[in-house]
Amino acid sequence: MAAKIVTVLGASGFLGRHVVRELANHGWRIRAAVRRPNNAHFLKPLGKLGQIDIVQANIRERMSVAEAVEGANAVVNLVGILAPEGQQTFESVQVQGARNVAEMAARADITNVVHVSAIGADPASDSVYARTKAAGEAAVKEAIPGAAILRPSIVFGPQDDFFNRFASMAQMSPVLPLISGQTRFQPIYVDNVADCVAAALDDLDLRGRTYELGGPEIMTFKELMQLMLKIIGRRRILLPTPLPVASLIGNVGDVVGSLPFVTPPLTSDQVKLLRRDNVVGLTKDETLGTIEDFGISPETLEAILPTYLVRYRKQGQFSPEVPV
C-alpha cells in the first residue's frame, strides 16, 4: 500500500522543519511546498530516500497552491509572519493566503487539513497580527469545517527567534530592554507542536476543533529573560521600558521595516501584542481543546533551553557555568 501524501506549506520555516521530520517518522510522503525551493534542500535528509519532495508554492498565488495540493491526501499550513515585508502583508499571508490553501484543498476534495494559527487570535484585537490570525481561521473553517486549528503560544527550539535573539543581544549589550515585563507567556517546545500536527492528521477524533497549545510553565517576560540569562551564565541589566516608549520604538521600527532587506527589532503591532497575556484559556471558550487532548506531556524550558543556548555562554560548551 502506497504511503499517503501530505503537502506542507511553509515547510522550510522554524516550525516547518520539525513538522516535516515528525511526519516522515509517521510514514507520510511529504510534499514540502516553499517559496524558494533552492533554500529548502536541507529538508530531504529528514526522511528516507525519496520520502520528501520539494515543490514551489506561494500561498498568495492560488494556482501555485492548487498545484502543490493536487493529488495529496492531507494539507498542513504553517505559513505566518510576525511583521509585513513587501508583498508579504498580514492580510495577504494570514487571511488571503489561509483562504487560498483551504479553498484549494476543498477543491481537491481534501478534508484532512491542519492550520497553525496562534494564541491571541481575536477579531476584536487592536493588533493587526491577531485580527488577521482570527480572520484566517474563519476562512479555513468556512472552506474546511473539519480542519484542525492549532494555536500555540511562543514556540521555542533550536532555531527560534525569541530566546536566540535575546541571548545574542546579551552577548554584546550590558542591558536588555524589558517591554511589558509582567506580560505572561506559556512557551511550548517546537517538537511538541510538531507532535500535535502529526496526531491531528492521523486521528479522526482530533479534527474539526481548535486547540490552544501551551507548555507546562507560565512565566512573565521578565522571568523568561532571567531564566535565559541564568542558562547562558551572564549578568545583564533588565531595563524596564514603558509602553509609550516601546510604542515610539515600534513606530520607528515600522519605518525601518518598510526598507528592503531590513528586519526591525520591534514594530508597533508587536508592542500591542506584548500588552496581552499569551497563555492558554484566556478566551474562556469551553469548546477549545488543549495539548492534553493529544495525550502529550510538553517539555519544560529548563530541559530544552540549555541544549541550544549553550553557544551563547562565554566559553560555549566548555564554559564552567552550570545552567540551571
Concatenated DSSP letters of 34-97: ES-GGG-GGGGGGSSTTTEEEEE--TTSHHHHHHHHTT-SEEEE----SS-BTTB-HIIIIIII
pLDDT of residue 177: 87
Spatial CA neighbour of 123 closest among 133, 114, 113, 115: 133
pLDDT of residue 321: 56
Task: Burial-class residue 220 by CB neighbours within 10 Å (0-12, 13-18, 19+).
Answer: middle
CA distances from 136 to 105, 167, 195, 216 (A): 15, 32, 22, 27
Quickly count: other Cβ atoms within 10 Å of residue 184's Cβ. Answer: 16
Q: For residue 17, what is the enclosing H or E element?
A: helix 14-25
Domains of the chain: 5-159+188-216+279-298 (3.40.50.720)
User: Which of 165, 5, 128 minimizes the C-alpha distance to 76?
Assistant: 5
| Cα–Cα distance measured from residue 75 to residue 207, given in angstroms and rounded to the nearest whole number | 13
pTM of the model: 0.94
Quick one: CA dihedral 66, 69, 74, 77, positive or negative?
negative
pLDDT of residue 102: 98
Strand partners, 313: none
Q: At what angle do helices 163-172 and 301-309 cross, to 10 degrees?
A: 50
Summarize pLDDT for 96-111 with one digit per residue, the tens: 999 999 999 999 999 9
| Calpha distance 251→244 (Å, rounded) | 11
- Amino acid 54: pLDDT: 98
pLDDT at 1: 54
pLDDT digits (tens, 9 = 90+) for 195-239: 999 999 999 999 999 999 999 999 999 999 999 999 999 999 999
CA dist list (Å): 111 to 96, 108, 307: 19, 9, 38
Q: Could you say which residues of the chain have pLDDT below 70? A: 1-2, 261, 319-324
Q: How many residues does the chain have?
A: 324
β-strands 237-241, 188-189 pairing: unpaired
Q: Residue 323: what pLDDT?
A: 46
Strand partners, 278: 185
Burial of 26 (0-12, 13-18, 19+ CB in 10 A): middle
